[in-house]
Structure 1
């Protein structure tokens, strides 16, 4: 094998490794994103014994780790709603930052640490059959993201370190992803009202029917929820990001798009819940946090990339 061929093979191996590492980071972000919908503020299940509360409360009966049981009984449960809000905010930030790969090493360590109490809470929950290795793998995944500095692959950490041209290309990609998600959201939301509390799922909620027609298990990948208004806003703001990537003079449009995503992320987070209209006609109340995390990710990426591309532009150049 010639030197040139070895260099090409080595470069291909590096790119492939980078895609795998970056893809694993995005997968971890989606993991957190898909588990936000059932954490319902402001009670988080304390009022009905469900949701986040049922797992926290079960620690008092089943946890094998006495110090964690004490923390749950003496600190978490007496202040449960505060704990619920802390949990929601932390997991929104984990989803948001892992999806875009920003400050990934510290975020990955936080994700690994945050997974430990989840393991201790869920693995011995007496109403579920949990596979313990899934939570150990969850911890291991975040440690690998830390070790590989995964944000430097398909993430903001790498793009922001490279310069303005890379930032403009990344801004185009982020805007295009937002447009695609908005178009898909518009499609799934075609059966709900244009604006309001009703929303349709962009994800999967497939069921497995038993002999009496009931659903015994559901394959849930509940990522984000849309009505037509939110879908159109996602498309519009994504278009601003794409246009803003065309040159330094257009960067303000990208900043406006990023700021717009930030505004709708905050607004929807304050709203707290949606009425999720399922295909079978049943309505379920779900948290708005997953939408806040996704739009927050677009906001962060849009603003940082627009600023980076603008700062790196040559004076007098249009990009």
Structure 2
């Protein structure tokens, strides 16, 4: 009843209307919660920022012949042994392809309840890693000069969108896609050692960015939201889409 009364008294398109629209359904956060979201946002952005520089275009850190790392399963069957590792993006794409084609099974969420013998709890996602390896080997590696740019620009967009809090949910979605691909390709491998939970935490952190849209706090989204809210109150569908990606 109270909400209906407000709707009857507020003129559409007015500042009161935009304020009322922006507060409906919003979640009130404490200053500490906002600060923690800002830290999470900047941490994810810096993680991708620090990874930009070893695969800078146009060579992406690869050798002149764009050779990829290759290897074979170790005698113990627990990791891939590499005869020749190359450099840059060619190195890490080759590692992903090797673990997908000749590597051991990919088990995630492994837990050994009695600390002896084989683990009692695990999830075998080997087919997913093999599927990723097929895409890497058959599509990405043969077209490295195209996909190298796409990979680098995707990570740069995460740095800009998440770091500046500009349409932060878009940045979170891109980060989620990149993090999932890296998780499938590299999480839990033993040579080189890539700790599974580092990649899983990247996925979870990306989900937090998508859910909470932290650009609303000390980000460019905080400046855009009032303008988009007023435009939405005037019937703009583009503004509604913009608010979906910035939060309210």
TM value normalised by structure 2: 0.57
Query: For each residue in 1:4-39, what CA deviation from the matched residue of structure 2 results, as whole angstroms up to 9, or x when unmatched?
Result: xxxxxxxx9612211111221111111111111111
> Which residue pairs with 1:57 in the alignment?
94
Q: Is the 8 A contact 2:133 2:185 kept in 1?
A: no
Give me the CA root mean square deviation: 2.0
> Which residue pairs with 1:71 in the alignment?
135
Shift of residue 69, structure 1, vs aligned partner: 1.3
Structure showing greater relative contact order (alpha-carbon pairs closer than 8 Å, 6 or more residues apart): 2
Structure number with larger C-alpha Rg: 2
Q: Is the 8 A contact 1:101 1:154 kept in 2?
A: yes
Matched, 1:39 2:103: no
Structure 2 SS opposite 1:38: helix
Instruction: Choose from 3, 13, 34 the match for 1:18.
Output: 34
Shift of residue 41, structure 1, vs aligned partner: 2.3
Q: Is the 8 A contact 1:59 1:125 kept in 2?
A: no
Aligned residues between the structures: 152
**d(CA) in 1 for partners of 2:164, 2:148:** 25
> Which residue pairs with 1:148 in the alignment?
212
Q: Cα 1:54–1:136, aligned 2, differ >3 Å: closer, same or farther?
A: same
Q: Cα 1:74–1:124, aligned 2, differ >3 Å: closer, same or farther?
A: farther
Q: Give 5+ residue unaligned stretches, structure 1.
A: 1-11, 164-319
Q: Give 5+ residue unaligned stretches, structure 2.
A: 1-27, 68-85, 101-125, 228-248
Instruction: Choose from 71, 81, 91 the match for 2:145.
Output: 81
TM value normalised by structure 1: 0.45
**d(CA) in 2 for partners of 1:132, 1:107:** 23
Alignment of 1:1-319 (within 5 A): 14-47=30-63, 49-63=86-100, 64=126, 65-123=129-187, 127-162=191-226
Identify the structure with the greater helix proportion: 1
